[in-house]
Amino acid sequence: MIFGKHVRVFHYRPAAFLRISGLDAPEFLQGQFTQDLKPIGLQDVVYGLWLNQKGRVEADGFLFRVKEAEWVLASYEGCGQAIRERLERYIVADDVVVEDETARWNGVCLLDIGGPVVSELRKQGGGVMFRGRRGGGECWEWLRPVDAEPEAGCEFLSEAEEVGFSEMERRRIEAGVPMVPRDAGPGDLPNEAGLERDAISYTKGCYLGQEVISRLKSLGRVRRRLWRVRWEEARGGGPDASPERVLPAGLFAGGRKVGELRSMARTDEGSGLAKCMGLAMLSVDGAEPGALLSWSEGGEAAVGCEFPV
């Protein structure tokens, strides 16, 4: 197999890898997931959310059908045990079994490779593969068992340039892609983080939290939005160095708190002033493009609002 010279890889462990099976599994998942699963065929993948009764985000994940009555759920950061417990709360007399296999799977994100290469990898490397949500161009998630034997055609995993977590965060935040549950969690509506565009079907039938989501669509507005913000801060160990940010970090305007920074990445790792960007959940009356926010009540306005994601 021939890969482009700029192929890069990011190794990680998925926070959730659940196998959901049983005769009632398709109907059960259809009533829980925010996406319509009826059109999903074997090996198809769809990204969506698990909400509570109030329409708040409990977890996200990629669902793909491996057999007629068997599905696999994978999530970047949604806890496998928590998602399993959440699903099992709603299994009453259904023929549905949820198995947590998270500890048995490794993940690698493949950056800068093309579709034909992905198809070939699926054949040679096994495991499961789907288009990811990392921002900054095309990426593919490849999940394989921890004890999988090295196979022909997979040698590039040890030869490709390895990307670290910090660079993946820069890539994601630059593109304004929220991470669940860090940027959008149990206290947030999906529409506040722009997740309704990619993670919600407005044409399927009922699912948990659907009534709230439908009402939001009718109203057409929310009270808060996730924004990309930028700022600079002093680096180094001197007296003027900025403190390490503890997230979430409050943001203020006009003497009042208007939101909080949820995730951040440094775009310049050099000494002196470091350039930073992040995703912040802000009230709609506290942010507009070009507005400046501060880290404390009465503090210096230093954090610039760029755009809602």
Query: pLDDT per residue over 63-121, tens digit each?
Result: 999 888 999 999 999 999 999 999 999 999 999 999 999 999 999 998 876 555 555 55
Q: What is the pLDDT of residue 265?
A: 94
Percent of the chain with pLDDT over 90: 67
pLDDT digits (tens, 9 = 90+) for 11-32: 999 999 999 999 999 999 999 9
Percent of the chain with pLDDT over 70: 87
The two structure tokens encoding residue 201: 């079907």
Q: What is the pLDDT of residue 25?
A: 96
* Burial environment of residue 97 by CB neighbours within 10 A (0 to 12, 13 to 18, 19 or more): middle
DSSP for 28-48, written as a single string = HHHTTBSS--TT--BT-EEEE
Whole-number Å distance between alpha carbons of 105 and 16:
9
The two structure tokens encoding residue 77: 């950061």
pLDDT digits (tens, 9 = 90+) for 165-192: 999 999 999 999 999 999 999 999 999 9
Q: What is the pLDDT of residue 2?
A: 44
Domains with residue ranges and CATH for the chain: 8-175 (3.30.1360.120), 224-308 (2.40.30)
Look at residue 302 and tell me whether its pLDDT is greater than 70.
yes
For the residues 226-230, what does the mean pLDDT come to?
98
Q: What is the pLDDT of residue 158?
A: 73
Whole-number Å distance between alpha carbons of 130 and 1:
19
Confidence of residue 270 (pLDDT cuts 50, 70, 90): low
**Mean pLDDT, the chain, integer:** 88
Whole-number Å distance between alpha carbons of 187 and 200:
18
Per the model's pLDDT, the better-predicted residue between 113 and 298 turns out to be: 298
For the residues 293-299, what does the mean pLDDT come to?
93
Confidence of residue 242 (pLDDT cuts 50, 70, 90): low
Q: What is the pLDDT of residue 58?
A: 97
Look at residue 153 and tell me whether its pLDDT is greater than 60.
no
In 160-223, the DSSP E strands lie at 161-162
Q: What is the pLDDT of residue 307?
A: 95
For the residues 58-65, what does the mean pLDDT come to?
96
What pTM, to 2 d.p., does this model score?
A: 0.90
